C-alpha cells in the first residue's frame, strides 16, 4: 500500500532523511522506532504533505499513486491520516462540527452523499465512547483547553470516525498514562483490517505491548538500519539504540 523508495528530505537545506526505503502492505502494522532526531516526525510530515520539507530524491507511492504529487488535503481524502504529535487548537470551532466537515470532505471526494446529521451524531457517540473521549469534549472547540492526553484521544477518535486506509501515528503514546495508552491502543486495534495499514512512530516500546506490530523498523540518522519482527522492539528496549550503530 505504501512504498517509500530511497527518500531524501531536507529541512532548511539540512538533510534529515538520507535514503529511507520502506514498504507497508495492506493489512499490516509497521512500527518505526528510533532515537530523538533520527527523522521519525519528518517521515510522518512528508507522508502527510506538510510544507517546508524538501524531497530531493526518491519517491513515495500510495496505492500505486505518486503521493508527492498530491496536495495534503487530497492525500487526506484518499485515506491518509496523520495522528499529530502536537495537535493544534482551533478556538471557536466546534470539535464535532469540525469532524463532520472533515468526514464530508472525504465522502464528497469518493462521490458519496454527505452524512446525515442524526446518523453522524450516533456515529460520534459510539466512537467517542470507544476511545474514552468525554462527551463534553465533543462540544468544545477543537483541542482548545484539552489536556495532553485528551488531545491524543481526540486524534484517535477522529481516526476512528474517518476510518483511514493508511494511518500514521506520530508519537501518539507520548504524554499518556497507562490507562489512556490502553484505550488508545484498543482504538487502533479495533480499526485493524485486511485492507488498511498503520505506521506507528514511537520512541518507546511500551505502546507496542498494546498495538502489536507485524514489522519493526529502526530509524537512525535518516535511514532504516534494522528491520525485524515484534521481538526487535523488546530487544531495543533492553539494549538501547547505541549498539545498532
Q: Using CB under 8 A as the criterion, which residues of the chain lie in contact with another protein when the complex forms?
A: 48-51, 71-73, 75-77, 81-82, 84, 87-88, 90-93, 98-99, 101-102, 105-106, 109, 141, 158, 162
Beta-bridge partners for 24: 2
User: In the bound complex, what is the minimum distance in angstroms from residue 238's beta carbon to another protein?
Assistant: 35
Q: How far apart are CA 49 and CA 64, in angstroms?
A: 17
Q: Residues 155, 157, 163, 168: what is their CA dihedral angle, to the nearest 10 degrees?
A: 20
- 107/223 with CB nearer another protein: 107
Measured CA to CA in angstroms, residue 192 lies from 37, 111, 186 at distances of 29, 25, 10
CB of 48 to another protein, least distance (A): 5
At residue 132, φ and ψ (nearest 5 deg) are: 70, 35
Least distance between another protein and beta carbon 30 (Å) = 20
Phi/psi for 168 (5° steps) reads -110, 120
Residue with smaller CB distance to another protein, 83 or 208? 83
Closer to another protein at the Cβ: 153 or 241?
153
Using the minimum distance from each CB to another protein, give the nearer residue, 84 or 146.
84
State the virtual CA torsion across 51, 55, 60, 65 in degrees, nearest 10. 70
Cα 140–145–150 angle (5° rounding)?
80
Looking at beta carbons only, is 82 or 124 nearer to another protein?
82
**Which residue's CB is nearer to another protein, number 27 or number 87?**
87
The CB-of-129 to another protein minimum distance in angstroms stands at: 21
Nearest approach, Cβ of residue 114 and another protein (Å): 13
The CA distance from 193 to 63, in Å, is 16
Could you tell me which residues come within 8 angstroms of residue 197 by beta carbon, excluding any fewer than 6 positions away?
1, 2, 24, 25, 26, 27, 28, 29, 30, 165, 166, 167
Amino acid at each position: 500500500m505504501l512504498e517509500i523508495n530511497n527518500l531524501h528530505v531536507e529541512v532548511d537545506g539540512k538533510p534529515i532523511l538520507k535514503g529511507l526505503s520502506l514498504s507497508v502492505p495492506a493489512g499490516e502494522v509497521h512500527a518505526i522506532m528510533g532515537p530523538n532526531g533520527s527523522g521519525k516526525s519528518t517521515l510522518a510530515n512528508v507522508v502527510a504533505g506538510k510544507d517546508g520539507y524538501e524531497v530531493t530524491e526518491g519517491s513515495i507511492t500510495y496505492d500505486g499513486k505518486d503521493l508527492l504529487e498530491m496536495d495534503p488535503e487530497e492525500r487526506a481524502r484518499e485515506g491518509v491520516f496523520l495522528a499529530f504529535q502536537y495537535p493544534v487548537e482551533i478556538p471557536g470551532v466546534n470539535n464535532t462540527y469540525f469532524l463532520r466537515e472533515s468526514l464530508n470532505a472525504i465522502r464528497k471526494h469518493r462521490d458519496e452523499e454527505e452524512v446525515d446529521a442524526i446518523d453522524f451524531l450516533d456515529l460520534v457517540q459510539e466512537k467517542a465512547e470507544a476511545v474514552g473521549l468525554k462527551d463534553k469534549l465533543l462540544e468544545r472547540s477543537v483541542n482548545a483547553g484539552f489536556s495532553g492526553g485528551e488531545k491524543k484521544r481526540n486524534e484517535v477518535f477522529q481516526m476512528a470516525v474517518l476510518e483511514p486506509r493508511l494511518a500514521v501515528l506520530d508519537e501518539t503514546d507520548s504524554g499518556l498514562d497507562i490507562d489512556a495508552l490502553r484505550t488508545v491502543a484498543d482504538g487502533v486495534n479495533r480499526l485493524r483490517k485486511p485492507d488498511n495499514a498503520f505506521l506507528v512512530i514511537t520512541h518507546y516500546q511500551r505502546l507496542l505491548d498494546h498495538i502489536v506490530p507485524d514489522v519493526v523498523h529502526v530509524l537512525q540518522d535518516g535511514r532504516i538500519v534494522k528491520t525485524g519482527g515484534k521481538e526487535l522492539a523488546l530487544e531495543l528496549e533492553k539494549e538501547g539504540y547505541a549498539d545498532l550503530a
